């Protein structure tokens, strides 16, 4: 199951992504937490010191593309693979169970509390707001497009609610999107925009209030987002301690906040996967992307990358295709597993 935490800077995306990842991992489930936020500090909150951070996926797009395209004859090189290029027969697919594939081995590191961490790497001015060929969140989109996940295993993405994810279709790659909102006018301002995009594409969103101080705050959120308010987190002394680098265990969380984590998990687990829609939207956004800029950028007709025979979801793992046995390719830069 995939979940995104989105919202304005400072709303608490990173905090809630980290708490949720730890909560779910604490129940024994495989969890990959992905830092795709502008300010990269999911790692810090998950207890990973700077030198131990994984390599930034956004800085290794060519390697990632070369791995994922595998032997897919429709994608002859990484140069013509863009962030929306969908998998087809011969592509390498990813699963969450053992995570022994070269991509997870290279780009995911364990964190002390159980979740594994992957990061896009820090954003630069030129990465923001453009449907850019080199955008770092493109690495996350490629990852999610090639991932076949199921119940009881989780990817948690800490993500900015930005134009980049709307333009590329990244916002349609999740089973559930939690929009983190503080109970202020600023805080709920992203909500309407996100809701409108989301409803157009059948994307499930729910609002999660954060830093709530009492009934008035809850009433404010209800007024502005109505039934989309799923749950809320109170302003937390334990979270402050975490931020200050003091020891923190999930059990230090206030009971209401712990309950709110349970609500998030229950909601996510209750989502039914719709692989057909997932595949259709992957293709829809690839075609849009191709027409908007990617055909021009690559000098090819990217519609030809779509494999009409490819079936998204577990079926793609179960049925070996004529291209499915992928011979190892010499690796870039020597020893690296990708």
Ligand X SMILES: Nc1ncnc2c1ncn2[C@@H]1O[C@H](COP(=O)(O)OP(=O)(O)O)[C@@H](O)[C@H]1O
Among 14, 135, 165, 236, interactor with Mg ion by CB under 5 A: 14
Binding mask 118-137 for ligand X (x = CB under 6 A): --------------------
- How many residues bind to ligand X according to rule CB under 6 A? 17
Whichever of 90 and 162 has its CB closer to Mg ion, that residue is 162
Residue 99, both tokens: 């995570």
**Stretch of 11-19, 48-56, 95-103, 316-324 lying at the interface with ligand X (CB under 6 A):** 11-19
Q: Does residue 236 touch ligand X according to CB under 6 A? A: yes
Least Cβ distance, residue 122 to ligand X (angstroms): 14
**Stretch of 7-15, 114-122, 124-132, 248-256 lying at the interface with ligand X (CB under 6 A):** 7-15
Whichever of 245 and 328 has its CB closer to ligand X, that residue is 245
Any idea what the Cα angle at residue 135 is, between residues 275 and 297, rounded to 5°?
95
With 0-12 / 13-18 / 19 or more C-beta atoms within 10 angstroms meaning exposed / middle / buried, residue 154 is: buried
Backbone angles phi, psi at 159, to 5 degrees: -140, 145
40 binds, among Mg ion, ligand X, none (CB under 5 to 8 A by kind): none
Q: Do residues 168 and 289 touch, judged by C-beta distance below 8 A? A: yes
**Of 4, 86, 82, nearest to 282 (Cα)?**
86
273 binds, among ligand X, Mg ion, none (CB under 5 to 8 A by kind): none
Q: Under rule CB under 5 A, which residues in 60-89 are in contact with Mg ion?
A: none
Least Cβ distance, residue 134 to ligand X (angstroms): 23
236 binds, among Mg ion, ligand X, none (CB under 5 to 8 A by kind): ligand X
* Residues 75/294/160/173 CA torsion (nearest 10 deg): -50
User: 328: Cβ–Cβ under 8 A, 6 or more apart, which residues?
Assistant: none
Among 235, 273, 277, 288, interactor with ligand X by CB under 6 A: 235
| Pairing state between β 109-110 and 116-119 | antiparallel
Whichever of 14 and 72 has its CB closer to Mg ion, that residue is 14
User: 54: Cβ–Cβ under 8 A, 6 or more apart, which residues?
Assistant: 106, 107, 108, 109, 117, 118, 119
Q: Do residues 281 and 169 touch, judged by C-beta distance below 8 A? A: yes
Least Cβ distance, residue 305 to ligand X (angstroms): 34
List the strands of the sheet with 205-212, edge to edge: 109-110, 116-119, 31-36, 154-159, 2-7, 176-181, 205-212, 229-234
Q: Do residues 164 and 111 touch, judged by C-beta distance below 8 A? A: no
Q: How many CB atoms lie within 10 A of CB 37?
A: 25
How far apart, in Å, are the Cα atoms of 300 and each of 74, 75, 80, 286, 306? Answer: 12, 11, 7, 13, 13
279 binds, among Mg ion, ligand X, none (CB under 5 to 8 A by kind): none
Cα–Cα distance measured from residue 70 to residue 54, given in angstroms and rounded to the nearest whole number: 23
Least Cβ distance, residue 42 to ligand X (angstroms): 8
Q: Does residue 338 touch ligand X according to CB under 6 A? A: no
Whichever of 124 and 301 has its CB closer to Mg ion, that residue is 124
Binding mask 179-218 for ligand X (x = CB under 6 A): -------------------------------xx-------
Among 1, 4, 13, 147, interactor with ligand X by CB under 6 A: 13
Residues that bind Mg ion (CB under 5 A): 14, 37
Residues that bind ligand X (CB under 6 A): 7, 9-15, 37, 210-211, 233, 235-236, 239-240, 243
């Amino acid at each position: 199951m995939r979940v995104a935490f989105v919202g304005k800077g400072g709303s608490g995306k990173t905090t809630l992504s980290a708490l949720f990842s730890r909560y779910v991992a604490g129940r024994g489930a495989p969890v990959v937490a992905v830092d795709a936020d502008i300010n990269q500090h999911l790692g810090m909150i998950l207890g990973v010191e700077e030198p131990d951070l994984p390599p930034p996926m956004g800085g290794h797009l060519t390697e990632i593309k070369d791995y994922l395209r595998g032997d897919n004859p429709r994608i002859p090189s990484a140069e013509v693979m863009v962030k929306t290029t969908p998998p087809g027969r011969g592509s390498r697919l990813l699963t969450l169970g053992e995570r022994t594939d070269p991509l997870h081995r290279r780009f995911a590191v364990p964190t002390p509390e159980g979740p594994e961490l992957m990061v896009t790497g820090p954003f630069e001015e030129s990465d923001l707001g453009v449907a850019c060929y080199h955008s770092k969140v493109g690495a996350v989109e490629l990852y999610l497009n090639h991932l076949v996940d199921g119940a009881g295993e989780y990817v948690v993405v800490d993500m900015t609610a930005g134009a980049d994810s709307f333009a590329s279709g990244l916002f349609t790659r999740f089973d559930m999107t939690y929009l983190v909102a503080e109970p202020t006018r600023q805080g709920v301002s992203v909500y309407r925009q996100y809701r409108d995009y989301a409803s157009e594409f059948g994307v499930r969103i729910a609002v999660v209030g954060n830093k709530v101080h009492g009934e008035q705050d809850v009433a404010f959120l209800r007024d502005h987002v109505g039934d989309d308010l799923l749950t809320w987190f109170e302003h937390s002394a334990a979270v402050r301690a975490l931020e200050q680098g003091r020891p923190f265990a999930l059990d230090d969380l206030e009971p209401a906040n712990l309950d709110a984590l349970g609500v998030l998990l229950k909601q996510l687990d209750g989502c039914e996967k719709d692989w057909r829609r997932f595949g259709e939207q992957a293709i829809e956004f690839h075609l849009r992307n191709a027409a908007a800029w990617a055909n021009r950028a690559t000098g090819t007709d990217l519609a030809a990358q779509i494999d009409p025979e490819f079936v998204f979801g577990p079926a793609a793992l179960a049925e070996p295709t004529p291209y499915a046995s992928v011979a190892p390719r010499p690796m870039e830069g020597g020893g690296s597993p990708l």
